[in-house]
Amino acid sequence: MKLYADTKNYGVTMRLTWEGRKTVNRGLVGMFWHVASMMGMVVMPMIAYPQTNSDIQAYSVTITNLTKGQRVSAPLVWSHNERVIFFEIGMPASKALQSGAEAGSTGELSDEFLRSPDVEDVVKSGFGLVFPGNSVTLTVKAGGEFNRISFVSMLNPTNDGFAAVQGIKIPKNDKKKVVDVPAYDAGSEINDERCDSIPGVCNGEGRSSEKGEGFVHLHTGIHGVGDLKPEERDWRNPVVRFSIQMAGVARE
């Protein structure tokens, strides 16, 4: 069994830590039953009641692009419990998050979440880029222990800018929850604003040769130091409006 000092790590690390804890728990339970039988104790087994399907409901998640000159990459949305933390401001971004922020590729994050016992459902938009003023709505299953929903998308064109919400609790009954989301910088790539290091709109490589700040922080926008013009691509936070509502409920 491997032990990790940082229990707030990403995807795979959290999964291994959780599996390790389950292994320890099974060992302790086995030891208890052995000692109890040696002493002639009569022990009533504890019954664990599994979460029922009725706890899980479908929720409509809508992502709206509030900028005038940035595209939002195909959003990745997932439902999970309180143990899932995929980024922290002031801490280095995971490699999976770096891939999403630099190139809009969420495959690594999706794979990690699909393997995690702390995640209920993972959904990625099949509609591609969300253009300024437009929205995309996805349906994700959540409920019971898995009562939180998160999402991530790259801002394009930027070097490693992304929009994300982390662990928003699902609303009760037919209520709607709305969150305005700022832009974040993954800190993994220098903001040279050069088209040859930005994919998508710029058709670049999606990776600058120079490293960034080394930690996630609020993005400071487009400054015109490279090929991007601030008057076309800059923004003032927020960049995305994120809403959750039980599926089938009429939208306001």
Q: With cut-offs at 50, 70 and 90, classify the pLDDT of residue 8.
A: very low
Specify if 251 maps to a domain. no
User: Based on the domain organization, do 17 and 63 belong to the same domain?
Assistant: no
Among candidate residues 216, 208, 145, 150, the one with its CA nearest the CA of residue 183: 216
Same domain as 172, residue 242:
yes
Strands 240-246 and 57-65: antiparallel
**Rg over CA atoms, the chain:** 21
Tokens of 158: 């930027």
109 and 36 in a common domain: no
Give the domain-ending residue among 49, 67, 84: 49
74-103 b/e with 16+ CB inside 10 Å = b?
A: bbbbbbbbebbbbbeeebbbbebbbbbbbb
Residue 125 in domain? yes
What range does the domain containing 68 cover?
53-246
Does residue 252 belong to any structural domain of this protein? no
- Do 31 and 71 belong together in one domain? no
The answer to whether the peptide bond before residue 157 is cis (omega within 30 degrees of 0) is: yes
In a shared domain, residues 140 and 95: yes
pLDDT above 50: residue 81: yes
Whether 71 contacts 240, CB under 8 Å:
no
Q: Are residues 36 and 150 in the same domain?
A: no
Angstrom CA distances, 108 to 17, 47, 52, 73, 158, stand at: 19, 36, 29, 15, 20
> pLDDT tier at 53 (50, 70, 90 boundaries)?
low
Alpha carbons within 13 angstroms on the beta-carbon side of residue 77 total 25
**Amino acid identity for residue 5 in this structure:** A
Based on the fold, state whether residues 35 and 66 are members of the same structural domain: no
Higher pLDDT, 231 or 47: 231
Taking only the tens place, the pLDDT of each residue in 108-118 is 999 999 999 99
pLDDT at 208: 64
Average pLDDT in the chain: 83
Q: Is residue 40 part of a domain?
A: yes
User: In this structure, are 29 and 141 located in the same domain?
Assistant: no
Q: Supply the CATH number for residue 235's domain.
A: 2.60.40.2130
Answer whether residue 82 is part of any domain: yes
> Mind listing the pLDDT tens digit for each residue in 9-32?
333 333 333 333 333 344 444 544
pTM of the full predicted structure?
0.77
- Tell me 171's DSSP state: P
Let me know whether 132 and 204 are in one domain.
yes
Within-domain flag for 33? yes
The single-letter code of the amino acid at 91 is: M
What is the share, in percent, of the chain residues with pLDDT greater than 70?
A: 75
Q: How many domains does the chain contain in total?
A: 2
